Amino acid sequence: MRCVIVDDDPFIQELLKDKLLNYFPEISLEGVASNGHEGIQLIKKLNPDLVFLDVEMTDMTGFEMLAMFDELPFKIIFITSYKHYAIKAIRSNALDYLLKPFDLEELKNAISRFKKNHLDQTQNLKNTISTLKTKSNKDDLLTLKTQQGDLFIPLDDIIHIEGERNYSLIHLVNQKKELVSKTLSNLEDLLKGKGFFRCHKSFIINKSHILEESNHNYVVLSNHKEIPISRRRKDTFSNWNRNL
């Protein structure tokens, strides 16, 4: 059996190399890549049976690397550190993972499962990538500096933002509000491409909180507020609302 390691930590590369050498003579380590881009090249060149793949690398995640392959004719054992957010997604899609710095029994079990399991992992991997994409969108935050320190607001929690000269009032779920010293234009820039739209000179709205739309004149949001759509923004709004 031929394997490769894709991990950007030289310590992990050495440790896994030694563990394989010491305890798994039937597995031949064919190559080591230090980032996702090198990993793609190495896998395409060597066509291994098994890839030990780091979840979080500096240039891309292991999932982003896998997404660059049309087919996955190799098995994957993900390697990750303690309490990484991706573990839940990996586990729930019946994929294998190892926690760094590798307990020998867990490594033995993972390799034994790899030897027995010849099922195609492609669909499970696609599900995992999709789960993580959804999670990562939900985790997006709006980060703002305030006099009290950094303020982190999950984007999902923002319903709409109201501009008041040099300040903006952020209307959040659960009827909370945050007044921040940013203009609406500043916030519009920060939120570009994240599901928000400046529908009026005084308002930015969050697409995921639109309950209904009235003939492109106004929208009703999840806090039951009616927000006007200015005449000159109607066409852009219509395209945005349709396409997003």
Partner 1 sequence: MTSHSHHTKYINLEHVYGISRGDKDKILKYLNQFNELIPERLDLLNRALLLKNREQVRQIIHKMSPQLQFFGIQSISHHIHKLELDFKTMPFSELTAMVNDIILNLEQAIKEVHSTIIDLETN
Q: Which of 149, 174, 177, 242 binds partner 1 (CB under 8 A)?
A: 149
Q: Which of 27, 37, 60, 101 binds partner 1 (CB under 8 A)?
A: 101
Helix or strand holding residue 177 (H, E): strand 177-180
Q: Could you give the angle at the alpha carbon of 214 between the alpha carbons of 213 and 219, nearest 5°?
A: 45
Q: Which of 82, 105, 116, 193 binds partner 1 (CB under 8 A)?
A: 82
* Residue 175 makes contact with partner 1 by CB under 8 A: no
* Residue 152 makes contact with partner 1 by CB under 8 A: yes
List of residues 6+ apart from 74 with CB closer than 8 A: 43, 47, 48, 49, 50, 51
* Six-digit token string for 47: 């066509």
Helix or strand holding residue 205 (H, E): strand 203-206
* Residue 124 makes contact with partner 1 by CB under 8 A: no
* Residue 35 makes contact with partner 1 by CB under 8 A: no
Check if the beta carbon of residue 173 is closer than 8 Å to that of residue 187: no
Amino acid at 78: F
Q: Which of 4, 5, 34, 100 binds partner 1 (CB under 8 A)?
A: 100
* Residue 25 makes contact with partner 1 by CB under 8 A: no
List of residues 6+ apart from 64 with CB closer than 8 A: 36
* Residue 178 makes contact with partner 1 by CB under 8 A: no
Instruction: Using the minimum distance from each CB to partner 1, give the nearer residue, 80 or 206.
Output: 80
Q: Which residue has the tokens 């779920």?
A: 173
* Residue 84 makes contact with partner 1 by CB under 8 A: yes
Instruction: Using the minimum distance from each CB to partner 1, give the nearer residue, 84 or 133.
Output: 84
Ramachandran bin of 145, using left for φ above 0, alpha for ψ from -120 to 50, beta for the remaining angles: beta
Please report, as residue ranges, which positions from 43 to 72 form the binding site for partner 1 (by CB under 8 A).
Answer: 56
Q: Which residues lie near partner 1 (CB under 8 A)? A: 9-12, 14-15, 18-19, 22, 56, 81-84, 100-101, 141, 149-150, 152
